[in-house]
Amino acid sequence: MIDNKIDRNLRDIWPILVDEYDQPIMIAKRIGEKMEDKIFKEILLTEEQINDICVRMGNEITKAYENNERPVIFLGLLKGCHPFMSDLLKNIDLKLEIDYMDVSSFFGGTKSVGEVQILKDMTMSVTNRTVVIVEDIVDSGKTIEKVRELLMFRGAKSVEVATLIDKPEGRTIDLKPKYIGTTIKKAFILGYGLDYNEYYRNLRCIGIPRDSIIEE
Ligand code: IMP
Ligand code: MG
């Protein structure tokens, strides 16, 4: 009843206080303001756009490996791969295996420091296996290259890369991911797995943070 007096597009986001006769007396300040609004100055990929990318990449990867002799191993690079790995794999219509590795090249902050460290190794054997590395973003390419070299050294049959985002301008080595969600200009971005000092991985979309977030 009260709802009918309130503009349709405001009904879900504004709490309404009513008097004893159930008449609206006040529309309070918007509650539960989305964290995204406070963090981003520009949104690059919305939830819907990310979903569309996962569907498209899932189909592409399904087609590429539907006749593969053995199931492909999808190797997620923690922690940034987590939401993307989950959404991408839901769209891959194949019998497959998953494993994870934690490899760090950032150590907090916004700049890659070059040295790549393996913090947690995978548990499966890759000998003679087709491996697809799943990454949130490829910047310099050093992280991926280090992991790719290691997997080839361990006897993998082939190693390809599926990344949600490619930042080719940051590349310092010759590396082109086979499966790319989208390409962006050089910028530090956050959300959907991508962090700043371990924060903001839980945001549903991806964007450029406000300056105040980075200076904090
Ligand atoms: P690369 O070794 O320079 O390619 O760095 C890749 C890793 O750095 C990614 O897996 C991310 O964890 C991190 N990274 C690169 N660019 C960004 C960014 O814009 N925001 C957050 N993390 C990033
Ligand atoms: Mg990463």
Cis geometry, peptide bond prior to residue 79 (ω within 30 degrees of 0) = yes
Q: CATH number of the domain at 141, please.
A: 3.40.50.2020
Neighbours of 124 (CB within 10 A): 13
Contact status, residue 128 vs residue 157, Cβ threshold 8 Å: yes
- pTM score: 0.83
Model confidence over 70-119: pLDDT tens digits? 999 999 999 999 999 999 999 999 999 999 999 877 555 556 555 678 89
Residue 81 Cβ inside 6 Å of ligand 1? The answer reads no
* Ligand 1 atom index nearest CA of 139: 4
Mutate to test the pocket of ligand 1, among 113, 161, 169, 194 (most ligand atoms within 8 A of CB): 194
Clarify whether residues 115 and 82 are in a common domain. yes
Range of the domain at 125: 46-185
Model confidence over 189-200: pLDDT tens digits? 999 999 999 999
| Ligand with an atom nearest the CA of residue 199 | 1
Asked whether residue 26 is assigned to any structural domain, the reply reads: yes
Sign, CA dihedral 145-148-154-155, equals: negative
Task: Give me the mean pLDDT over the 52-74 stretch.
Answer: 97
Residue 194 Cβ inside 6 Å of ligand 1? The answer reads yes
**Residue 139 clears pLDDT 60, i.e. is over it:** yes
Clarify whether residues 131 and 97 are in a common domain. yes
Q: Is 139 marked active-site?
A: yes
Which is catalytic among the residues 102, 139, 166, 211? 139
Clarify whether residues 88 and 25 are in a common domain. no
C-alpha 153 – ligand 1 centre gap (Å):
24
Clarify whether residues 94 and 55 are in a common domain. yes
What single string gives the DSSP state of each residue in 99-154? EEEEEES--SSSS--S--EEEE---S--TT-EEEEEEEEESSSHHHHHHHHHHHHT
Show the tokens assigned to 159.
């190693």
Residue nearest to atom 9 of ligand 1 (CA): 137
Sign, CA dihedral 30-35-36-39, equals: positive
